[in-house]
């Protein structure tokens, strides 16, 4: 996060310098500070995305940002001796910060998987329309265009529409191609989903800033380049500090349900475990927003979504071969979903159990009718040492049914099961009370304890 924030500050400084130089403004200390702070507004959006819109970190950052504007406003009023001048910094902050705030809606957890594709393509297409219309500022281009359209019986409105549409289509196509290149970089782990989202924020900000540069709108790409250079350099410096000797892979199994509990669990678990190691799971609609990423969206749009699915053992072995213990460029490990067709989930579960260091099984809403979960419980007892298995339960778990499954399987363990020497199925269970959120801190600590 510090690398992203440093990159955002570099963006704001470079954008301010270009704005002042292109418009002939004097670099007065108060004016320069106000504009830099205003251009830094998207840093708050980044904090909201990384830590959550309800996080204390975001609340403290917003308060600090407002206090800075308040202080700048008071200084401005004291210098000018006009009380109304105290509002000028706030107005400037709204001018450059409020448009970017729309991305908080676009990048919420429900739609953030498709947001980078939409923003990249639309931002580049919008830039194409803007630059095409700017061509009309050239006297020669304007004269030829007006003459041509006048001969066809068209007026100024048609000229603007045609030029804007041509630029929109041409650079929109370029944006689509760029998105595909970025998806390939994501697949090769040269780019992360979080970085795609945050890059999209500053790309969107560049469209807003471009209007301030008037005829030099193309200069808006320079602050974006400064952001990329500083943030990438910061990530490179931090990479060695985040390296660990072993990156424990966590397998999350669960009762497939239509409620939001699986989503909340994965939200909280991903926030903490993604710094420790990869998270693997069988994909289903209850966790759709976590398993859809930039690469997945582009496969869908290009009609190649079927490439993701495991249909036979050959597909499974290819998918297992693609698993990685490397961090993404932003320091996170990946969520690794498996999309299964038919009974392929059974082979997939068995292989994932043996390929993972710890298994967490969410058995909230479990009962004897959940045949898939019963198969997974029995497979876990056959393959996983009990100290590497953690089960989550709450008031919706049918405890009698769970104990019945465990005891029945315990009497018929596989001959090579690592648990045959244990006296009883003493499985570690984490109970979640009806009134509390999932205690992820405790969950992570419990899951890590056998492998520390």
pLDDT tens digit sequence for 311-365: 888 888 888 887 777 777 777 787 888 888 878 888 889 999 988 888 999 998 8
**CA-based nearest residue to 145, from 170, 127, 155:** 155
294 touches 180 (CB < 8 A): no
263/362 same-domain check? yes
273/358 same-domain check? yes
3-state secondary structure at position 337: strand
237/271 same-domain check? no
Could you tell me if residue 208 is inside a domain? Answer: no
Could you tell me if residue 97 is inside a domain? Answer: yes
The domain that holds 351 is classified in CATH as 3.40.50
Q: How many angstroms separate the CA atoms of 74 and 67, rounded?
A: 10
Could you tell me if residue 202 is inside a domain? Answer: no
pLDDT tens readout for residues 218-259 = 778 889 999 989 888 877 776 655 555 568 888 999 887 656
Q: How many angstroms separate the CA atoms of 86 and 64, rounded?
A: 17
311/425 same-domain check? yes
In whole numbers, what is the pLDDT of the chain averaged over residues?
A: 77
**CA-based nearest residue to 384, from 414, 418, 360:** 418
381/298 same-domain check? yes
Q: How many angstroms separate the CA atoms of 10 and 361, rounded?
A: 44
pLDDT tens readout for residues 362-414 = 998 899 999 999 999 999 999 998 888 999 888 889 999 999 999 899 888 89
346/446 same-domain check? yes
430/294 same-domain check? yes
According to DSSP, the residues that pair with 251 across neighbouring strands are 280, 359
269/380 same-domain check? yes
Could you tell me if residue 207 is inside a domain? Answer: no
255 touches 363 (CB < 8 A): yes
Rg, C-alpha atoms of the chain: 27
56/26 same-domain check? yes
Query: Order of strands, edge to edge, in the sheet holding 335-340?
Result: 309-310, 335-340, 279-282, 250-254, 358-362, 389-393, 428-431
Q: Please report where in the chains the tokens 């917003």 appear, as a residue.
A: 62
**CA-based nearest residue to 175, from 298, 303, 289:** 298
Could you tell me if residue 309 is inside a domain? Answer: yes
Q: pTM value? A: 0.68
Work out the number of other CB atoms within 10 angstroms of the CB of residue 91: 11
Could you tell me if residue 198 is inside a domain? Answer: no
Least confident window among 48-52, 91-95, 195-199, 312-316: 48-52
Could you tell me if residue 197 is inside a domain? Answer: no
The boundaries of the domain holding residue 405 are 250-451
Number of domains in the chain: 3
Q: How many angstroms separate the CA atoms of 367 and 400, rounded?
A: 9
232 touches 15 (CB < 8 A): no
60/2 same-domain check? yes
Could you tell me if residue 343 is inside a domain? Answer: yes
418/435 same-domain check? yes
269/127 same-domain check? no
**Going by C-beta distance under 8 Å and a sequence separation of 6 or more, which residues neighbour residue 182?**
116, 120, 191, 196, 294
58 touches 101 (CB < 8 A): no
């Amino acid at each position: 996060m510090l690398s992203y924030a440093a990159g955002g500050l570099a963006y704001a400084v470079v954008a301010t310098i270009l704005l002042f130089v292109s418009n002939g403004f004097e670099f007065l200390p108060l004016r320069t500070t106000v504009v830099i702070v205003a251009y830094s507004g998207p840093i708050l959006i980044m904090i909201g995305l990384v830590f959550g819109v309800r996080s204390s970190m975001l609340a403290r950052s917003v308060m600090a940002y407002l206090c800075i504007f308040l202080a700048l406003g008071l200084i401005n009023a004291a210098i000018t001796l006009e009380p109304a001048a105290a509002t000028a910094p706030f107005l400037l902050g709204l001018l450059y910060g409020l448009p970017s705030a729309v991305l908080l809606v676009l990048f919420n957890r429900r739609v953030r998987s498709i947001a980078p594709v939409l923003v990249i393509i639309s931002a580049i297409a919008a830039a194409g329309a803007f630059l095409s219309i700017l061509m009309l500022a050239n006297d020669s281009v304007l004269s030829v265009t007006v003459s041509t359209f006048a001969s066809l019986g068209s007026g100024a409105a048609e000229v603007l529409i045609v030029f804007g549409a041509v630029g929109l289509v041409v650079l929109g196509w370029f944006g689509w191609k760029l998105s595909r290149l970025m998806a390939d970089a994501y697949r090769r782990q040269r780019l992360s989903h979080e970085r795609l989202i945050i890059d999209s924020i500053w790309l969107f900000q560049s469209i807003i800033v471009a209007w301030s540069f008037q005829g030099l709108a193309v200069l808006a790409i320079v602050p974006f380049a400064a952001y990329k250079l500083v943030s990438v350099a910061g990530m490179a410096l931090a990479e060695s500090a985040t390296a660990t000797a072993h990156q424990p892979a966590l397998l999350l199994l669960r009762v497939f349900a239509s409620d939001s509990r699986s989503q909340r669990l994965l939200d909280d678990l991903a926030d903490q475990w993604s710094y420790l190691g990869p998270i693997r799971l069988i994909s289903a609609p209850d966790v759709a927003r976590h398993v859809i990423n930039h690469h997945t969206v582009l496969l869908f749009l290009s009609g190649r979504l079927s490439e993701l699915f495991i249909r036979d053992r050959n597909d499974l072995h290819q998918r297992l071969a693609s698993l990685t213990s490397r961090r993404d460029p932003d320091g996170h490990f990946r969520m690794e979903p498996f999309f299964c067709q038919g009974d392929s989930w059974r082979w997939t579960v068995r292989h994932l159990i043996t390929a993972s260091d710890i298994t967490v099984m969410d058995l909230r809403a479990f009962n004897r009718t959940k045949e898939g979960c019963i198969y997974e419980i029995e497979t876990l007892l056959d393959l996983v040492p009990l100290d590497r298995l953690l089960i989550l339960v709450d008031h919706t778990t049918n405890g009698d049914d769970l104990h019945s499954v465990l005891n029945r399987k315990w009497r018929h363990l596989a001959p090579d099961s690592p648990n045959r020497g244990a006296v009883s199925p003493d499985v570690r269970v984490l109970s979640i009370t009806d009134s509390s959120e999932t205690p992820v801190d405790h969950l992570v600590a419990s899951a890590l304890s056998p492998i520390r």
